[in-house]
Amino acid sequence: MELLTSAYGTSVARRAQLVAVLAEPEDLSPARLRGLTGVADALEVRADLVGDPDPHRLRRHFRGPLTYSLRSRRHGRRSALGPVERRARLLRAAQQYDLVDLEAMDDLVPELLVGIPTRQRRVSWHQPEATRPDRGADRWFGAAMREASEALRHRFAAMRTVPAAAYLLVPQPGAQYGAAAPLLLTGLGRTDVTAFASGPAGTWTRVLAPWLGAPVVFGRAGAPGADGMPSVAQLRSDYGLPALPPLDALFGIAGRATGGSLAPRLHNAALRHLRLPALYLPFPVDVFPRFWHWAFVFGALARLPLRGLTVIAPHKRGAVEVADIADPHALRCGAANVLWLDAGRWRATTTDTAAALHTLARAGVEPGGRSAAVIGCGGAGQAVALALDQAGARVTLVNRGDARGRDASSRLGFPYVPLSRFSPAGHTVLVHATPVVERPPFPITAADRDAVVLELVYRDPPTALMRATHAGGLVGIDGWDVLFVEVSEQFRLLTGHPLPEALTLRSLCFGSAEPAEAHDLAKPAGQPPARSAMRSASGEAT
């Protein structure tokens, strides 16, 4: 096991400026503005989304600097003003705002440059979607990243001919998952340039950019946006921003939909607590082998090597395929949810097995001799089925899609029943391992009175299955209990360190301040959370 050692104390932590973006009408309310005091350093008004609020009213509730941005359709947003009206609004904003965003090319005209002094200018460029770069071949990742980074450098060289207080470049994520944007920052040696990729695929570049030299990081004043911008609250709770402690390596979660996962919040809290120089990021991935190749190229170019991943649907099979060593459980079910570097070799395993058995044991449930049904034959479902079998249970597989169900049955050697013909009667352990949360996947009223329901997904409010389980008086173990066990085991594998006992994972998730004795791993399983979570996860439980 390669321990990730602390680099704290050898360098002084830096700090980024945290900018709260007002992008919804409710962001202009006095309550929200006052709530940003002491949380954000500055505000940015997206006038193309919220109009032109009175800056004096904003300053009554928020004391920090104000930026005015009127994003045009050419730069990917709503404003379709003609040049005369657009320039009039920008010049008017210069009389009242500390910084005014000027879009490269269109706004860099004598009228605006004369009326807006250098100290108030932010020159920006947002790449239109129509010019999204070609994906290219895997073998050219390194060259493609360098070429994209060089193209951004040329773009910036043209922008900096106009003196300004700040510069902003936002390319499309493209084939290199937005890697060109953070790579641009690594060699500039400037403190006035911010660059990140747009869209949900570029969220990780927004978060990482300050560590590579960007002076600011942007977060929505309200909820996270569809454009990939996290909320200010999320930047603070999930990534510890605006503090910038030393950074030598990256971890992350890789899957089709990573935006709702709580894994970054929990892992980064533990990394900060132990003062380990690493950051855990969300990586939306379409094709896992391409991402795997890209990760090593990016790590080498940015000098931030990838040291481990948690992997969620639909890439758990891909995690087994790229590993140097996969443990027997992962090989048998053909799926892994953790990849980590160990003595120079990549190992793969699944923590779903240990999590399922641990949470059942904490609820006082001994699987041996019981009849268990596992609903869902994805990677997590197969791993739990194997664990139950090894614990002495009689396992039946259940799946909506017949092909996957029969394939899992053939692979594992367990009987299979299509979901359309499944009845929970006769099974005293029922494991739900699908992402369906809106309705119970089977009629809970038909379950035996002594049945225990274990669900792998976590949601707030509770899923339909958990609500029906508790309403029927059955023992229900929801995905929160599974999550906390999995995170503890995954963190140990990824870093070589146990999860700090001082961290209360339930408090981190729910924004509460529970006493130390209510630590998650000591809390009896089967109880619903005491407080509501800030948001829910998507896809399979990690």
- Structural domain contains residue 195: yes
Where among 185, 204, 235 does a domain terminate? 235
Where among 186, 211, 235 does a domain terminate? 235
363 and 490 co-located in one domain? yes
Q: Are 255 and 312 contacting, i.e. CB atoms less than 8 angstroms apart?
A: yes
Q: Are 308 and 340 contacting, i.e. CB atoms less than 8 angstroms apart?
A: yes
**E strands present in 230-297:** 243-244, 249-255, 278-284
- Structural domain contains residue 322: no
- Structural domain contains residue 514: yes
Q: How far apart are CA 352 and CA 354, in angstroms?
A: 6
Q: Can you give the pLDDT of all 542 residues of the chain as single tens digits? A: 455 554 333 334 489 999 999 999 999 999 999 999 999 999 999 999 999 999 999 999 999 999 999 998 876 565 667 889 999 999 999 999 999 999 998 899 999 999 999 999 999 999 877 544 444 444 456 777 778 888 889 999 999 999 999 999 998 886 454 677 888 888 788 899 999 999 888 999 999 999 999 999 999 999 988 888 999 999 999 999 999 999 999 999 999 888 888 999 999 999 999 999 999 999 999 899 989 988 988 888 889 999 999 999 899 999 999 999 999 989 998 999 999 999 999 999 999 998 999 999 999 999 999 999 999 999 899 999 999 999 999 999 999 999 999 999 999 999 999 999 999 999 999 999 998 889 999 999 999 999 999 999 888 889 999 999 999 999 999 888 898 899 999 999 999 999 998 888 878 887 643 323 223 333 333 333 333 332 223 334 33
- Per-residue DSSP letters for 386-444? HHHHHTT-EEEEEESSHHHHHHHHHHH---EEEGGG---TT-SEEEE-SS--SS-SS-G
Q: What's the domain count of the chain?
A: 2
pLDDT (0 to 100) of residue 511 = 65
User: Of 202, 212, 401, which is closest to residue 304 (Cα–Cα)?
Assistant: 212
CATH number at residue 356: 3.40.50.720
- Structural domain contains residue 10: no
- Structural domain contains residue 258: no
Radius of gyration of the chain (CA): 25
- Predicted TM-score (pTM) of the model is 0.88
CATH number at residue 77: 3.20.20.70
How many residues does this entry show for the chain? Answer: 542
231 and 365 co-located in one domain? no
Where among 190, 220, 235 does a domain terminate? 235
Active site annotation includes 523: no
pLDDT (0 to 100) of residue 5 = 53
Residue 202: domain span: 17-235
- Angle of CA points 134, 138, 140, to nearest 5°: 75
- Structural domain contains residue 242: no
Q: Which of 86, 126, 267, 316 is catalytic?
A: 316
- Structural domain contains residue 371: yes
pLDDT (0 to 100) of residue 357 = 93
- Structural domain contains residue 297: no
